[in-house]
Amino acid sequence: MNNEAVLRLFDTYADDAFRLAYSYLGSRPDAEDVVQDVFVKLIRSDITINRGSLFGW
């Protein structure tokens, strides 16, 4: 996945991902780390995400 696409996804979903991670972890720094890890994995991957499965990924 190219960096531009990941940046668009980050702008769209980072807040939701953070809230979900925070609800499980109860720690702001840990939740921020999880969100960062997710988007770093997206940058490093060569996967194609279908629009319908985007939120679940």
pLDDT of residue 7: 86
User: What is the domain partition of the chain in residue ranges?
Assistant: 3-53
What is the pTM for the complete model shown?
Answer: 0.77
Contacts of 41 (CB under 8 A, 6+ apart): none
Helices 28-44/3-25 angle, 10° precision:
150
Reported as a pLDDT band with limits 50, 70 and 90, residue 56 is low
pLDDT, tens only, 2-54: 778 888 889 989 999 999 999 999 999 999 999 999 888 888 887 776 666 66
pLDDT of residue 28: 98
pLDDT of residue 50: 66
